[in-house]
């Protein structure tokens, strides 16, 4: 696959009949997409890279795909930015990040190399964008794994703090516990400063995809710990994505923080990355889950996984609130509000907003009929627990996800419904749940029923465009 072929045939690829391809979620017409990478702003455009195997639905042959946008609605036709064709990265151009340095777009990624015994040799590599739009791998910035750590050493994320340049990278100690390491740029070279000092000394066996950002004056570590055992309704996915809020000392690497909180409470969310643009922090996540490929029937169509809609982040009550970026409002074709409504026929793609009066009610339930199956949402006011229930769906993963939402009198939901993805935003972003669902045949409509008459606003949505 080459970029000219992609450009010349993109719209043919996208017009191929599909039961499940989404309309306003970024995804590829074929192959496997996972971690968003290299999110930044360059020459007035949002740069969005992502892991992409364009040759199949397996976690191999990882390239960096690439698109740009100014409004998160109109995108450039995706291209291949990095390919695993060099001796040092022949087993994959793994995740990383980007920055603009001296008016040049720079990428830093993990080059994955394995020997005949499947032993990893990770390196952290610098690539740049050339004037003609192509990308070149320039140099290996970190050629080995620091002493005391295993070869699970990946996913560098560039950030600034106190007018100094760093990257944080996921690692595994030799005692097989996860952590993150900090490198600092000094005299144009990257030097290992040491391990980020947190209170979590034994929290999973590997920390993937770390981000270090500042939101509303708070330092935030976002990361994906692997190997966390479920605790009641917490940590129910195979791997987690969450955050710590605190204060970072760049001289001592001490990070004083609160408890780990999950970013998304649905079934299908992992490996988020945050784009920092002045005072905006915009998160994009991978809609998928490692080692669960059998739960995604889209492989029958030759593709798998998507990226979330972009979410803006803020801090409120010591929680990261996530809300869809305002630019997405331009997707709305029309709005119609139904008062005291209990039954409704929905046509995707759409957004529905519900304001549910719980003043004298203790239980709410909303059912989406997916081609004869039921995707069930419910809320118990006594326990303050919301539930997403996929047990009645014939295709894809099953199970229930429970999480706490603060409700006294009104439960407010903004639900973005695409062809096979549902993103639910609770109480104006206090909680989010991203989940896939799959109809057995092409859907013409989704009947929706609720046990409490409520105000429902339906917005039909346009598709994102590639030009």
Annotated domain spans of the chain: 3-326, 328-466
pTM, whole model, 2 decimals? 0.98
How does pLDDT run across 304-349, given as a tens digit for each residue?
999 999 999 999 999 999 999 999 999 999 999 999 999 999 999 9
Is residue 444's pLDDT more than 90? no
Which CATH class name applies to 328-466?
mainly beta
Task: Copy the structure tokens of residue 234.
Answer: 């917490």
35 catalytic? Reply is yes
Q: DSSP secondary structure string, 326-354?
A: GGGGGGEEEEEEEEEEEEEEE-SSEEEEE
- The CATH number corresponding to 3-326 among 2.115.10.20, 3.40.710.10, 2.60.120.380, 1.20.1250.20 equals 2.115.10.20
Residue 1 clears pLDDT 80, i.e. is over it: no
Distance CA 26, CA 74 (A): 11
DSSP-based three-state secondary structure for 7: helix
pLDDT tens-digit readout, 225-271: 999 999 999 999 999 999 999 999 999 999 999 999 999 999 999 99
pLDDT digits (tens, 9 = 90+) for 23-59: 999 999 999 999 999 999 999 999 999 999 999 999 9
Alpha-carbon distance of 384 to 289, in angstroms, equals 27
Point out the catalytic residue in the list 35, 89, 264, 414: 35
- Contact between 455 and 355 (Cβ < 8 Å): yes
C-alpha 51/C-alpha 37 separation (Å) is 7
Q: What pLDDT score was predicted for residue 215?
A: 96
Residue 200's SS3 state is coil
């Amino acid at each position: 696959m080459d970029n000219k072929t992609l450009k010349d045939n993109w719209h043919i690829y996208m017009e191929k009949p599909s039961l499940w391809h989404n309309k306003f979620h970024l995804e590829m017409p074929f192959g496997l997409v996972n971690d968003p990478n290299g999110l930044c702003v360059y020459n007035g455009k949002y740069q969005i890279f992502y892991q992409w195997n364009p040759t199949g639905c397996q976690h191999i042959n990882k390239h960096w795909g690439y698109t740009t946008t100014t409004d998160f609605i109109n995108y450039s036709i995706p291209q291949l930015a990095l390919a695993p064709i060099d001796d040092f990265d022949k087993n994959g151009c793994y995740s990383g990040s980007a920055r603009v340095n001296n008016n040049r777009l720079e990428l830093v990624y993990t080059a994955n190399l394995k020997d005949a015994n499947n032993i990893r040799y990770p390196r952290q590599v610098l690539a740049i964008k050339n004037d003609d739009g192509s990308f070149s791998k320039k140099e290996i910035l970190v050629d080995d794994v620091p002493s005391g750590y295993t070869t699970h050493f990946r996913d560098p994320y560039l950030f600034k703090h106190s007018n100094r340049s760093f990257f944080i990278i996921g690692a595994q100690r030799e005692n097989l516990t996860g952590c993150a390491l900090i490198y600092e740029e000094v005299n144009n070279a990257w030097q290992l400063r040491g391990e980020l000092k947190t209170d979590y000394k034994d929290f999973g066996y590997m920390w993937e995809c770390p981000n270090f950002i500042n939101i509303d004056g708070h330092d935030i570590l976002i990361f994906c710990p692997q190997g966390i055992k479920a605790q009641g309704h917490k940590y129910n996915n195979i791997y987690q994505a969450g955050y710590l809020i605190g204060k970072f000392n760049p001289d001592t690497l001490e990070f004083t923080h609160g408890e780990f909180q999950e970013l998304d409470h649905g079934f299908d969310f992992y490996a988020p990355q945050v784009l920092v643009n002045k005072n905006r922090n915009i998160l994009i996540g991978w809609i998928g889950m490692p080692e669960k490929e059998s739960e995604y029937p889209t492989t029958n169509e030759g593709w798998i996984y998507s990226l979330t809609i972009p979410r803006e982040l803020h801090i409120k009550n010591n929680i990261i609130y996530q809300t869809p970026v305002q630019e997405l409002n331009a997707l709305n074709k029309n709005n119609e509000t139904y008062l005291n409504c209990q039954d409704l026929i929905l046509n995707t793609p759409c957004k529905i907003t519900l304001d549910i009066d719980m003043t004298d009610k203790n239980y709410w339930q909303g059912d989406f009929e997916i081609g004869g199956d039921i995707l069930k949402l419910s809320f118990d006011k006594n326990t303050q627990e919301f539930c997403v229930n996929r047990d009645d769906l014939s295709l894809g993963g099953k199970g229930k996800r429970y999480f706490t939402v603060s409700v006294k009198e009104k439960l407010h939901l903004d639900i973005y419904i695409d062809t096979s993805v549902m993103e639910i935003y609770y109480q104006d972003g206090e909680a989010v749940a991203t989940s896939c669902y799959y109809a057995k045949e092409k859907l013409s409509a989704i009947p929706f029923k609720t046990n409490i008459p409520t105000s429902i606003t339906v917005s039909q949505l346009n598709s994102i465009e590639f030009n």
